[in-house]
Chains A and B, each alone.
Chain A
Amino acid sequence: KNEVEQSPQNLTAQEGEFITINCSYSVGISALHWLQQHPGGGIVSLFMLSSGKKKHGRLIATINIQEKHSSLHITASHPRDSAVYICAAQAGAAGNKLTFGGGTRVLVKP
């Protein structure tokens, strides 16, 4: 079993729909990251959170430390949101290295 599991692996939505991506982790963490990767490889950090909820534009990330679970929500999805979304667990010790989930490939159709 991977230390960080994401679901679903793939997701197709119509423009305007609400999207939820889930992440469960089995390791102790100091923070949980949500990252976005577009075709071509570049990774952009969306959120780093250790408790509660963060919001940036149409993106919302939540984390439940007790249940070791995080979600990324995209409201009013748009075709430009099409990308791979990756959650990553940051170790408290060991230099803050990241352990990544396998990613969720999101396609938003116009």
Chain B
Amino acid sequence: DTGVSQNPRHKITKRGQNVTFRCDPISEHNRLYWYRQTLGQGPEFLTYFQNEAQLEKSRLLSDRFSAERPKGSFSTLEIQRTEQGDSAMYLCASSLVEGTQYFGPGTRLTVL
């Protein structure tokens, strides 16, 4: 257990539905990252926050994706109008500004 938690661990949804995932980082970590990993591939960067500010978004993050970190603590990642191609493991990591990133267990999304 790294101290980073993610919920839910698994989500199965039908195409077109909206889903929301939550990440609770290690409490003193001011940076929070979201990554996506498809089967057999390495993770890919989606977005990151420093405190409550979202400082960078990947081109992978289409306008159906939105992430928030309202109070600089937990973060949510919402996917609207899910597509089958969104099926993946969504990973969250947190760190201090210059420190090692600690990863959560991930949320596995399956879109039917």
Residues of chain A whose beta carbon lies under 8 Å from any beta carbon of chain B: 4, 33, 35, 40-45, 48, 86, 88, 94-103
Contact = CB atoms under 8 A, between A and B. Distances in A.
Contacts of B97: 96
Contacts of A88: 42-43
Given A42-B106, A45-B103, A86 B98 contact: no
* B interface, size bucket: 20 to 34
B105 interface: yes
Interface of B: 2, 31, 33, 35, 37, 40-45, 48, 50, 55-56, 89, 91, 93, 95, 97-98, 100-103, 105-106, 108
Contact of A97 (B41, B48, B91, B102): B48
Nearest to B108: A41
A79 to B, nearest CB: 22
Contacts of B35: 98, 100
Contact of A95 (B55, B89, B100, B102): B55
Main secondary structure of the interface of B (DSSP, over half): strand
A42 B98 contact: no
B41 A99 contact: no
B98 A43 contact: no
B42 A42 contact: no
Contacts of A100: 35, 42-44
B100 A48 contact: yes
Contacts of B41: 102-103
Contact of B103 (A44, A48, A95): A44
A94 B57 CA distance: 10
